[in-house]
Amino acid sequence: MEKSSILIVDDAAINREILADCFEGKYNTLQAENGKQALEILENTEVSAILLDLMMPVMGGIEMLEKLNSSGLVKRVPVLVITTATAADSEELLLEAYRLGAVDIIPKPFIANFLICRVENMIELFRHRRELEDMVAEQVKKLSAMHISMVQALAELIEFRDCESGEHVKRICGITNVLLHSVAELYPEYELHSGEIRKMVISAMLHDIGKISVPDSILGKPGRLTPAEFEIMKRHTVSGWEILEKVSDIIDEDIYAYCRDICRHHHERWDGKGYPDGLAGDEITIWSQVVSIADVYDALTSRRVYKSAFSHEKAVQMIKGGECGCFNPKILAAFEHSINEIRTITGN
C-alpha cells in the first residue's frame, strides 16, 4: 500500500530534517521552506497532515493558515503548528492559529515519540471524520432521490384522472428548466442558481396535482366550462396547496416550499387579475411566473378534449398579445430568448 504523505513547512532546513526523521518509514515527507512554497505543493499533492512553523519569510504560518481556511482544506487535513512561539506575548498569535483551523500547537523542542503519537492521532481522527462525512453525504443523496421519487409518484396520480397530464408534466418541467436558466442569464437580479433551479423544476411536476379533486365531468368536459364549473376548476390551485400540506414530511423541505407556492400561484397574473389570491407583479414568485407561462404555452400547443392544438406561431402570438394571460415583460423576453430550445422540447 502506498504511504501517506506529511508536509513539513519550516524555514530552517535542520528543523525540517529532524521532523522528517521522526516519520521516516511510516510516511512520505514533503518539505517547504515557507507558506508560498507549501501552497504550491498542495495544489498538486494530497497530504494526510501539515506540520507548520509560524515565523517564516515570504509567507508565514498565519498567512498560510488564512489561505487554507479560505479554501476549506483545514477541514479535511489536520494542521499542527510546531513553533517556539510559546511566550506570554505570543498568546494572541497562537490563538489566531487555532481560530484559523490549526488543531494542535506543539512547542519546540518536542519529544519525538509524543509528536508522532499526536500527529497520527489527528490523522486517524480526520480520516474517521471524512468517512463519516462521506457516509452522511451518501445518505443525503439517497434521501434526495427518494424525495424526487415521491414527487414523481404524486405527479403520476394526475395521470389516472387526465390521460394528457403525464406528457404535459414532462413538457412543463423541460420548459420550466429552459426558462429559468434563461431568466438567470438575462436577469441576475433574480439570483437564480443552478441548485435552486433544479429544485424548482422538480417542484413544477406538481403544479396541477390539485386537479385530482376536480370532478370528471368538469375535467374531461369537451366543451366550454360554465361560470360555475370554471369556479370549481379554479379551486385546483388551492386544493393542490392543501393536499401538499398533508405530505410535508415526505418531501424535501426546499422542494416542498416551491411545490406549494407553484401549486397555488401558477394561475396568478402580472396585472393582478389571476387567481386564487389576486397577486400582482413580483408579488408572484419568479418560479411560479415561469411555470405559468410554460403551462400556457404547452396548453395552447397541445390537443385537449375541448380544443385542437394551436401552431407554435399562433401560441406565441396569443401569449405576446395578452390573449392568454398577462406576463412579466422580463419573463416574456426570456421566453423569446429561449424559444428554439422550447420548440425542441415540445416538438412544435
pLDDT tens profile 307-340: 788 888 999 899 988 888 899 999 999 999 999 9
> Do 162-346 and 5-134 fall under one CATH topology?
no
Superfamily of chain region 162-346: Hypothetical protein af1432 (1.10.3210.10)
Residue with cell 401552431: 311
Q: How far apart are CA 301 and CA 219, in angstroms?
A: 18
Residue 36 among the catalytic residues: no
Are 104 and 98 spatial neighbours (Cβ–Cβ below 8 Å)? no
> What is the average per-residue pLDDT within 243-256?
73
> How far is Cα 290 from Cα 236, in angstroms, rounded to an integer?
19
pLDDT at residue 88 is higher than 50:
no
Structural domain 5-134, CATH architecture: 3-Layer(aba) Sandwich (3.40)
- Inter-CA distances, 126 with 47, 98, 285, Å: 12, 16, 43
From the list 211, 273, 307, 314, the catalytic residue is 211
CA distances from 185 to 45, 107, 199 (A): 36, 53, 18
pLDDT tens-digit map of 191-246: 999 889 988 998 888 888 888 888 878 887 888 889 899 999 999 999 989 888 87
pTM above 0.75, yes or no: no
DSSP-derived secondary structure letter, 88: G
Q: What are the boundaries of each domain within the chain?
A: 5-134, 162-346
